[in-house]
Structure 1
Amino acid sequence: MASVKALTDLTLRDLWREVKDPATLWGDISRETTRAVKNLLENRMHDELADYLRAGRYVRLRSRRGHRNGSYYRRLTTTYGTIPDLEIPRSRDGRFRPSVVDRYQQRTAQVDTLIRAVFLGGVSTRQVGAILAPLLDDTISASTVSTVTKTLDRAVDAYHRRPLLDTSTYLFLDAVSLRVKTPDGTRRRLVLVAYGITTTGQRELLDYRLVRQEGQGTWEAFLTTLACRGLIGSRLQLITTDGQRGLHTALDLVYPHVPRQACWVYVLRNVAQQLRVRDRERCLHLARRIYQARDRATAERALQQWVRAWRRVAPKAVACLLRDWEALLAFYHAPARDWRRVRTTNAIERVFREIRRRTRPMTCFTNTASCERIVFAIASATNKRWEGR
C-alpha cells in the first residue's frame, strides 16, 4: 500500500504528478486567469457603485444618493483573454460610470496597442485577427483593425508638423516606390525621404512625404516645408542625392549654396548598364579607385587614368560618369572621417530596405493613409533606435 505524504512534505515534482494532462495545463491556467480578471473587475465596479451611492447593498440610509438598478453584461477582450459576460452594475439615475470600463468599450487599451503593433509589424488588416485569435480568445475583424490603426493618424500629422532643429551638417535625399490602391486601380506612389546627420553625429529621419511622382514640384514643396519648420541649412556642409534632375532644380531654389554629392552607387550602377558584361567587373573595379583615393588631387588623377583607359572601349560609360564628376568628388570637402558615409545614399537605402521588408507581406496598401501609418512607424522606430548613438 502506497504511503500518502503529508501536505507539508509535498515537493514540486509531487504536485506536477497531479496534473492529469500536461498538454492542457496552459489552457487551464489561461481560463483561470480570465475568470480571476473578471471577478476583479466586477468587484471593483460594485465597490465604485457603493461609493457613488454612499451605501452598500441592502443598506438603508437617509444619506444615500440613489439606488441600484440591476446590471447589464458586455463582452470585453483583454490581453488575458476574452470575458464573454462581464457584469456591469448601474444606478437608477443612469449617471454612474465605472472607471475600469468606458462606455461602449469592448477592448482594453492594451489590446488596441497589440493590434497596432502587429499591424505596424507588416501584417495586413485581414490577417491581424487570425494571428491574435489564439492569444485573445476572440476574433478581431478587419474593420476593427482599421478603426484601431486610424488612431495613428494624429501621431502622423504631429510628426509632419513638429519643429526641426537647424543642426544638420549632412542631408541625404532619396525616394522609394510603394504600391497603393486608388479608385482607378493600383498605382505606384513615391515616398520622398530626408535623412540628416547633426553636428554631434546624431542620425535622424527628418521627414517623409507621399507623392504621385518625383519631380521638381514635389521636391520643392517637400524641401520648402523642411525649411519653414526650421531646417534653413545654416550648418549644412553637403547634400547627397541620387542625381534626380527635378530634385537638383528644387535644391537650386531652397538650398542653392550647399554643395551636392552625387551617390557613387547610383552612378556606378548607371555606368554598368553601358558596359559589356565581360568588361563590367574590371571597369568598375578601376572606377572604385577614384573615390578610394586619399585626397581629391589623387582622385582626379585616378579619374583621368580611368577615362584614358576606357574612352575608346566604352565611350557611353565614360560619358555617364563624367556627366557628374565634380559632384562625385564633392565629399572630399568634408572631414576625412565622414567620407565613407557621405559619398553614397546607403544610409537612407537601409531605411528603404526596412520599408520594403515590412510592406512586402501586404502586397499593396488599401489607401494612402495606411501607407502613411506604416512609413511613420518605421521612421519613429528608426529614430528611437538611433537616439543617443
Structure 2
Amino acid sequence: MSYLTTELLTSLLWGGTAANEFLRSKIEEGVNAVLKAELAGFLGYEKRSSAGWHTGNSRNGSYQRTIVTSYGKITVDVPRDRNGEFQSPLLPERKQRVDSLETTIIQLYQRGVTTRQIAELIEQMYGHYYTPATISKITADVSEQVAQFHSRPVAKRYAVIFCDAMYVNLRRDSVAKEAIHVLLGITPDGHKEVLDYAILPSESALNYADMLKSLKKRGLEQVLLFVSDGLVGLSDAVQSEFPRAKHQSCWVHLMRAVSRLVRPSDRKAVLDALKRVYQQEDAALARQELSAFLNSYRRKYKRLHKLFQNEASLFSFYEFPKSIQQTIYTSNLIENNNKGFRHKTKLKEQFPNEDSLERFACMVYCDYNRRFSGKAHRDFRKHIRNYWRCSRIEFSACTIK
C-alpha cells in the first residue's frame, strides 16, 4: 500500500479532512512540484546550482494563480525566469478552469439542461459555483449553432425529401406532447441530411409547407419526390410549393392502417395479399393487384377501400429506377432517424422549455449530418442521372457528373 493510499484511508477512518479536500491538497502539492521541475528542466540546472552561473537566464521568483479543478480550487506558485520565456504546458495562459469542465457545461446545455440546473450540478460535482449568467456566457455559441442550423444554405436539388413528425414531452405552462416536424433529404449524389426541423404543438400539413417555404429561401429549387405517412393534406401542401414533384405514401403506414381494420384471425392473410400489391414489377400490375385485393375484401371489410382512394400517391415509386424503389416506397429512412432521436431522449421525462428542446434537437441532427456527410446512399448517383435523362427533366445544373 502506497503512502498516499495510507494517508487517504487514515483521513477517512479517523475523522480528518474529507476525501475531496484531501485529494485537492495533494493535487495542489503535485502541481507545484511539477512546475518547479519544469522550470529546472527549462533552465538546465537545479536551484542554487553553480551550473547556472553566466547562462544568460535565471530564476525570478513566482506568482500565484488560482485554478479550478474537479476537487475544488487550488493555488499554485507559477515560477518565472528573468527572460520571461518560461511557460508551463500544464497551465495554459489566461485560463482559470479546466477544459473538461467547460466541455461538460456545453454538453449538458446541448442536451437541454437549463443554465440554472447546470450551475447547481456543477456546484455539486466540482465544488465550485458558476452563476447562470456565467453558464450562459460559456454556452452562447450553442444558441448560435441553433440559429445557424435553421438558416444555413441547402443544395438546390434533392432527389427525395422525407417528411415525418414525432411527439416529445415539452413544458410550456404545463407539460404536453408536442410535434417535432423533420425534413430529411437525399441529394442527387445519394448523400442524406436533415434539412430542417420545427417544434410545433401538433403535426400539420401547413407546417411542412411553411418549412418548405423557408428551405426555398435558403436555396432549394427542385425536388423529385416527397415521401410521407398518411397525414391528411400533406400531398397537396408539398406540391403547392413544388408542383412538379411527385408524392409517395408510405406503404408500411398503409399496412398498419389496414391491420387495425381487420380481425386478428384474418390479419396475416390480408397483409400477405396487400404485400403482393407493391411487390409487382410495374405500376399497371400493381393497380390490377390492388383492385383484386379490394374486391376480395369489399364485403367483409367495407372501410378498406377508403385507405386507397388517393391512388396518385400509392405508386409514384414505380416511376423511379428499380434499384432505389426499396428506399422510397416507405418512410422507413426517416422513421429510423426518429427512433434514434427517441432513444436519446429516453432518460428525459420532459424538456423544461422550447429552447432546451431546440438545442437538444440541433445537437442530434448536427451529429447525424456529420456522420453521414461522407456516405452516399446506394445507387442514387448512377440511376437518378439516368432517370433525369430518360424523363427529360430540365436539371441542367445537376450536381451529378
Do these two structures clear the TM 0.5 threshold for a shared fold by scoring above it?
yes
* 1:20–1:161 distance in 2 versus 1, CA, 3 Å: closer
Indicate if the aligned counterparts of 1:263 and 1:345 stay in contact, CA closer than 8 A.
Answer: yes
Task: Report the counterpart of residue 277 of structure 1 in structure 2.
Answer: 264
Q: Distance in 2 between matches of 1:34 and 1:324?
A: 73
Q: Distance in 2 between matches of 1:348 and 1:365?
A: 22
Indicate if the aligned counterparts of 1:272 and 1:317 stay in contact, CA closer than 8 A.
Answer: no
Indicate if the aligned counterparts of 2:122 and 2:130 stay in contact, CA closer than 8 A.
Answer: no
Match of 1:301 among 288, 313, 321: 288
Task: Report the counterpart of residue 151 of structure 1 in structure 2.
Answer: 141
1:111-136 deviation digits (Å, cap 9, x = unpaired): 222333356568888987899899x7
Task: Report the counterpart of residue 343 of structure 1 in structure 2.
Answer: 329
Which residue type is aligned with residue 259 of structure 2?
A: A
Task: Report the counterpart of residue 329 of structure 1 in structure 2.
Answer: 315
TM-score by length of 1: 0.73
> Secondary structure of the equivalent of 1:360?
coil
**Which moves more between the two structures, 282-291 or 212-221?**
212-221
Indicate if the aligned counterparts of 1:172 and 1:239 stay in contact, CA closer than 8 A.
Answer: yes
Q: Distance in 1 between matches of 2:137 and 2:344?
A: 20
Indicate if the aligned counterparts of 2:123 and 2:130 stay in contact, CA closer than 8 A.
Answer: no
Task: Report the counterpart of residue 263 of structure 1 in structure 2.
Answer: 250
- The question of 1:192 aligning with 2:174 is answered no
> Secondary structure of the equivalent of 1:311?
coil
Which residue type is aligned with residue 225 of structure 1?
A: S
Task: Report the counterpart of residue 200 of structure 2 in structure 1.
Answer: 211
- The question of 1:100 aligning with 2:92 is answered yes
Indicate if the aligned counterparts of 1:192 and 1:209 stay in contact, CA closer than 8 A.
Answer: yes
> Secondary structure of the equivalent of 1:287?
helix
Q: Distance in 2 between matches of 1:365 and 1:38?
A: 44
Which residue type is aligned with residue 294 of structure 1?
A: E
Residues 23-62 of structure 1: pairs in structure 2 closer than 5 A: 35-37=29-31, 57=60
TM-score by length of 2: 0.71
* 1:188–1:145 distance in 2 versus 1, CA, 3 Å: farther
1:297-331 deviation digits (Å, cap 9, x = unpaired): 222222122112111111112321x2233312110
Q: Distance in 2 between matches of 1:44 and 1:368?
A: 50
- The question of 1:387 aligning with 2:373 is answered yes
Task: Report the counterpart of residue 232 of structure 1 in structure 2.
Answer: 221
Indicate if the aligned counterparts of 1:291 and 1:299 stay in contact, CA closer than 8 A.
Answer: yes
* 1:118–1:35 distance in 2 versus 1, CA, 3 Å: farther
Point out where structure 2 has 5 or more consecutive residues left out of the alignment. 10-19, 43-57, 80-87, 376-401
- The question of 1:114 aligning with 2:101 is answered no
Indicate if the aligned counterparts of 1:296 and 1:332 stay in contact, CA closer than 8 A.
Answer: yes
CA positional deviation for 1:172: 0.6
Q: Distance in 2 between matches of 1:165 and 1:327?
A: 25
CA positional deviation for 1:195: 0.6
* 1:367–1:106 distance in 2 versus 1, CA, 3 Å: farther
> Secondary structure of the equivalent of 1:176?
strand
> Secondary structure of the equivalent of 2:346?
helix
Task: Report the counterpart of residue 161 of structure 2 in structure 1.
Answer: 171
CA positional deviation for 1:272: 1.8
Q: Distance in 1 between matches of 2:4 and 2:96?
A: 35
Q: Distance in 2 between matches of 1:131 and 1:365?
A: 17
Higher relative contact order (CA 8 A, sep 6+): 2
Identity rate, percent = 25
Q: Distance in 2 between matches of 1:334 and 1:368?
A: 39
Match of 2:301 among 290, 296, 314: 314
CA positional deviation for 1:249: 3.5
Indicate if the aligned counterparts of 2:229 and 2:249 stay in contact, CA closer than 8 A.
Answer: yes
Indicate if the aligned counterparts of 2:111 and 2:356 stay in contact, CA closer than 8 A.
Answer: no
Q: Distance in 2 between matches of 1:327 and 1:168?
A: 19
1:205-229 deviation digits (Å, cap 9, x = unpaired): 1111222333344222211011111
CA positional deviation for 1:146: 6.5
